[in-house]
Amino acid sequence: MGSLELTFPNHQIIEDMKKDIIGEDFVFQGPFGPRKCLYLDQTASGKPLKSVETFVMQNILPIYANTHSTTSFCASQVSQYREEARNIVKESCGGCDDDVVIFCGSGSTGAIHKLVHAIVEERDPSPVVILGPFEHHSNILPWRNVAHKVIVIPEDEHGLLDIKHLEKVLEKLEADKVFQNRIVIGAFSAASNVTGAVTDDIAVTIMMHKYGGFSVWDYSAAAPHVTIDMNPDTGYEHLNKAAKKDAIFFSGHKFTGGPQTTGILMAKKYAFLNPVPDGGGGGGTVLFVTKTHHQYLHEIFEKEEAGTPNIIGSIRLGLVLQLKNNIGTPLVVRRENNFVRKVLEAWSAVPEIKILGYTSMPRLPIVSLLIQHLQTGMFLHHDFVVGLLNDLFGIQCRGGCMCAGPFGQSLLGINEELAKEYERILPQPRKSDSQHLETFNMLFKPGFIRISLPFHASDEDIDFTIDAVKFVAKHGYKFLPYYSFNIENGTFRFTEGPCWTEVIANKLHSFNLPSEDSLIDKTSEDDHPSYSECLEYAENVASIVHLVDSPHSSTGDDTKAFSEELRPLRWFLLPSEATRCIKDPKSVTKTRCPFTPRSDYKNHEYGNNPERWANGSIPHQICSILKQESSSDTILTSSQVSELFRKLRLEGCATISKAKRKVSNATSGFMDDSSSYDEERCDLCKSSNVKR
């Protein structure tokens, strides 16, 4: 695929990659002075890379043209680049001739909607859809809109997809003869974007195919961290056909280097059951159009990519995946595993920190947590914690439900009855005096803090993050009196002094060419405290905060801002309560919090033993890499690594086979030659009772 072949790169590549990240040394002016950004929100979006943007600027933009033009040099060259990018995506994801790659919008959401249209739209009868426990709203709502019935598979006692429950559901559907009348689609997350929990994608896919269902996978959280395999090798030839996924989708923007890339849908050709393309077609999708008739192009990707595509974004995604391939999954998995284990060990020892989900097993480097104020029993609001981590330490992370509401509620211990109460009170309109608009009680929406641990972080970055979160867990409430909350939009902001959103003060309407006034006005990259100085400053402020007056030093009571109906549903500490805890701690009593996060997960017997997971599955990948000896790493010189970034190239273009597979092939013949089935297959496949 590429001319540069790297296996197990050493740590030199990490240093070069950190230097290559745009904004790695960005400094902003906050309420406590200048702070260097430490970006730990990669699960939401990755950061851009200088090498990728330089390649685009030097090689693509000068010859940019529309891919619907064909004869001119610029158009044909850009078209070739884009098809090379498509080929890189296909090869990177283990595609074969039966698979088609489609560039979709700006992320997974567009890809899922395209898949739903392809399989489901305007079908009668409508399908039954089975969802996993970890699903993002983008993998829930589109299916709800078209399904006859949606069935959600819960977590098991270990915090993983309950595969035994899945088989019971499939057995019931088979007994009710549902498969004879309706398509059954299983849509699962390869990994949770909240906890980093990974799913045995091969065992689940084999089970779905055993009963005649489709198996489609959301790789949005997992794609930057693991090898994507559309057609995995299970180690058993007679199982390989059953293990082939029907579709996968992911967002390019979640990769390092991925901003402004597209979403990806990769699906078997037989999955495109709807003869009408998504959106009804458009420019570039037709062979011929008369006054009364039209004929679509034969190739699926041409028919499904209507209009002028995101040409630059498609090519940029090819570059990003090429870079991921060159770095290699082993290096990524090893570093991220070391980081997440270190973080979990440190934070699990702090009673104020409540880590969500299981803390063992193979997983991605994603940690979600709540911070509890033990004296009152209330939690520090996630928006306050995220704001304080930003203001004091420069850490960029995320608070909320991570667009995974149902799973988040399960992790927080919110039952269906309580969830309905929050659903009822959140949209109750409140009159906004400032905007004369109806706004809502968003402050009460439950949420948590999520921190991502990227493989290219340094050990110092991780150690600083550990210490910063531990500080906020122990002393964060002392800063709460200096923050004001907004009931309507659920935010906390520093009350006095400069606000970072105002200090940056660069607006789009000020952009002007070629004036330098349009450049971002930011603090000098050299003018900021070190990690140790940030921590020392925070400790000093926390030690004297009881001597300093705050906006909430009076006897005011913030609870008066809430109606009697809202008060029993409050789960977060208020500034006036924090003031009492600081000034008169003996007067503070414990308050009943409406929910308690789950902490009853059990360790799984499979653990980190790769032999217990389905061969080639995501947990098997991670466990196998961790079992390998790191001493085999190839040593690269600094100049060799720099050459990697300088010579990023898109190479090779594979043509898509024009063979058409009928829909009946989607579920027939999966278990051919099953009489030779090996009793020594992995335990999880064994539990799925694959018919012989």
Q: Position of tokens 């794609």?
A: 223
| Range with the poorest average pLDDT among 56-70, 378-392, 615-629, 677-691 | 677-691
- Give me the mean pLDDT over the 19-45 stretch: 95
- How far apart, in whole angstroms, are the C-alpha atoms of residue 169 and residue 152? 10
| Range with the poorest average pLDDT among 163-167, 287-291, 432-436, 455-459 | 432-436
Using alpha carbons, select from 131, 651, 602, 627 the residue that is nearest to residue 404.
131
pLDDT score at 522: 54
Q: Is the pLDDT of residue 648 over 80?
A: no
- How far apart, in whole angstroms, are the C-alpha atoms of residue 531 and residue 501? 22
Which amino acid, one-letter code, is at 70? T
Q: Is the pLDDT of residue 452 over 80?
A: yes
CA distances from 464 to 24, 144, 609 (A): 16, 43, 31
Q: Compute, in degrees rounded to 10, the torsion defined by CA atoms 130, 672, 100, 222.
A: 50
pLDDT score at 669: 39
Confidence of residue 290 (pLDDT cuts 50, 70, 90): confident
pLDDT score at 317: 97
| Range with the poorest average pLDDT among 147-151, 274-278, 412-416, 670-674 | 670-674
**Phi, psi for residue 657 in degrees, rounded to 5:** -65, 140
319-354 pLDDT, tens digit per residue, is 999 999 999 999 999 999 999 999 999 999 999 999
Task: Provide the terminal-to-terminal Cα distance of the chain, rounded to the nearest Å.
Answer: 38
- Give me the mean pLDDT over the 47-55 stretch: 94
Q: Is the pLDDT of residue 50 over 90?
A: yes
Q: Count CB-CB contacts under 10 A for residue 651.
A: 13
For residue 308, give the DSSP letter: S
Does the domain spanning 9-39+328-505+528-603 belong to CATH 3.90.1150.10? yes
Cβ(55)–Cβ(64) under 8 Å? no
Tokens (6 digits) for 103: 């560039």
Length of the chain: 692
Using alpha carbons, select from 607, 501, 481 the residue that is nearest to residue 549.
481
- Give me the mean pLDDT over the 72-91 stretch: 94
Confidence of residue 552 (pLDDT cuts 50, 70, 90): low
Which amino acid, one-letter code, is at 621? Q
- How far apart, in whole angstroms, are the C-alpha atoms of residue 669 and residue 108? 31
- Give me the mean pLDDT over the 568-592 stretch: 92
Domain ranges for the chain, please list them.
9-39+328-505+528-603, 53-327
Q: Is the pLDDT of residue 503 over 50?
A: no
- How far apart, in whole angstroms, are the C-alpha atoms of residue 24 and residue 5? 27
Confidence of residue 176 (pLDDT cuts 50, 70, 90): very high
- Give me the mean pLDDT over the 83-110 stretch: 95
| Range with the poorest average pLDDT among 503-507, 531-535, 642-646 | 503-507
Q: Is the pLDDT of residue 315 over 60?
A: yes
- How far apart, in whole angstroms, are the C-alpha atoms of residue 180 and residue 519? 62
Query: What is the average pLDDT score of the chain?
Result: 84
- How far apart, in whole angstroms, are the C-alpha atoms of residue 185 and residue 147? 10
| β strands within 427-575, DSSP E | 430-431, 438-439, 448-452, 483-486, 491-494
Higher pLDDT, 160 or 638: 160
* Secondary-structure class of domain 53-327 per CATH: alpha beta
468-500 pLDDT, tens digit per residue, is 999 999 999 999 999 999 999 999 999 865 444
Q: Is the pLDDT of residue 521 over 60?
A: no
pLDDT score at 291: 76
Give percent above pLDDT 90 in the chain. Answer: 65
- Give me the mean pLDDT over the 38-48 stretch: 98
- Give me the mean pLDDT over the 505-522 stretch: 52
CA 11 to chain centre: 25
Helix, strand, coil % over all residues of the chain, rounded to 5: 40, 15, 45
pLDDT score at 691: 37
CA distances from 687 to 206, 238, 390, 667 (A): 12, 17, 46, 21
- Give me the mean pLDDT over the 23-46 stretch: 96
Q: Which helix (H) or strand (E) holds 28?
A: strand 27-30
341-393 pLDDT, tens digit per residue, is 999 999 999 999 999 999 887 999 999 999 999 999 999 999 999 999 999 99
Confidence of residue 98 (pLDDT cuts 50, 70, 90): very high
